[in-house]
Chain A
């Protein structure tokens, strides 16, 4: 197919952007992406994005961390070399469990937190030396940008977007990946 066209509409106010997103959605156009300098509350709902599942992932990572802590200490302190250290009962895990709880807690938090962050980086494709993706540097400062792909309806889209209060509307040739 070669190059495809996208339309970029720039806004200077998040309220205008929000109503523009709603208008575009109501007109049944697919919004490819919205670039904003800061989180706009409710934008994901207006765009109809699926809710994140990262909390579920974090819960499961926490369970992994707890399991690691229990298995590790059960092996080291109870099975491998059950020494008498200061009279603490090392006959079974449960008997000495209160002493292990701080580590169980910390490893649960450690796994949940770090693996969740790494998941976030991977899913949102962020890493050092990654090329920045935003099409207009002003979107990191004070402009909001909505990107809509064009399917032979350039004129109609342009008028629609201008009506929503866009300060600039550009049509851009984009290399297909």
Chain B
């Protein structure tokens, strides 16, 4: 039995408070920005930018300039008149992006921790449906992590609805009125349907999690020969996995893909799934190692860690496969309506976009390839932290370009939001851990799992 240590409770509360303060202050400062401030800022940036550019490009573009001068001359008159108006429009655009930033930062962090929980729920369902013999000793850890799913998912949906057009431009009736593409999609993308769908997903996931936990605890108390609770769990897990794969896809269209309502990709749901699955498995490994280090899970041996690390390794590669498949198909065909998605990311997000490949693929690939290293706890922890950071960046790359564009930075709002949800996540998960014995002793596979060795 795990008791929620006071130190951890205080740590998570401090994280929540620090995160909340940081986020609210950045929210306030971004909301006090006016159009004039932004114009001033842009003028400053122009001054810096302009002076350096003339030096570099003066010679290189001489030829091109001479050629272009003739064409320019003819349109220059028109251009000048428009420039004043255009400047205003640009400043307004930038102002919107700066206003969006705290919302987007909050949303990315909220989604990241929610998806960990959802990924673990899928993993848990698979373990039951596959009647895995190695993993039952980890079930209580998984059940604790999925306890965060209900609050976490409601928060994500809540932020989505509250932030409205700060995240999803299709929620702005002004924009929709002038946008035929979004009008065409408004049968799916409208606020009412978005909320109802979200609630359906959350209800389905939470019902499974509720009953699965209930049957799992009931199995502990049941007679040795009575496996009826386990069988019930097996059945609802199989049903849940079917429900999950549909709703997870739709959730990823709703909650992530629709920030770019002009863009679509068919394997997007799988891609988001791979991201949440590997993050979830990583968190299972980290929490297990933590509890084992405290001497609370002696029944978990090296081989269990080895298997978790193998999953981390394999699903990292699977994520990369999907990332690359999506990227390469669009890059290769280069159809303008699809490729803008990657052009904005490569131009404005070069470091996070390609950096996450190192974090999510190359690092875990090389570190977790060796069989012996997969049994060393600090190796798994190190790889796990890198993987989790990489998948945070992954979500960041999915949301930010559509909301803040090139005005991104991982600064106060982003870090505060992560701290806030990290604190909340730890609080909820470790609270749930303290509610039941860590060894699900009634599980019919528990003996096999305890003696599991690879």
A: which residues have CB within 8 A of B? 55, 59, 87, 98-99, 101
Contact = CB atoms under 8 A, between A and B. Distances in A.
Interface string B343-374: 00000000000000000000000000101000
A59 B366 CA distance: 10
A129 B171 CA distance: 75
A98 B334 contact: no
12 contacts: A55-B371, A59-B369, A87-B334, A98-B324, A98-B327, A98-B328, A98-B331, A98-B332, A99-B328, A99-B332, A101-B324, A101-B328
Contacts of B369: 59
Range of interface residues on B (Cβ < 8 Å): under 10
B125 to A, nearest CB: 31
B424 to A, nearest CB: 39
Contacts of B331: 98
Contacts of A101: 324, 328
B323 to A, nearest CB: 11
A87 B334 CA distance: 10
Contacts of A99: 328, 332
A98 B324 CA distance: 8
Closest 5 CB pairs of A and B: A98-B328, A98-B331, A99-B332, A101-B324, A101-B328
Query: By CB atoms of chain B within 10 A, which of A55, A87, A98, A101 has the most?
Result: A98
Interface in B297-354: 324, 327-328, 331-332, 334
B386 to A, nearest CB: 20
Nearest to A55: B371
A98 B346 CA distance: 14
B37 to A, nearest CB: 40
A101 B328 CA distance: 9
Contacts of B324: 98, 101
A5 to B, nearest CB: 39
B143 to A, nearest CB: 32
Contacts of A55: 371
B68 to A, nearest CB: 23
A120 to B, nearest CB: 17
B282 to A, nearest CB: 24
Nearest to A42: B453
Contacts of A87: 334
Interface string B96-131: 000000000000000000000000000000000000
Given A59-B369, A98-B328, A98-B332, 9 more contacts: A55-B371, A87-B334, A98-B324, A98-B327, A98-B331, A99-B328, A99-B332, A101-B324, A101-B328
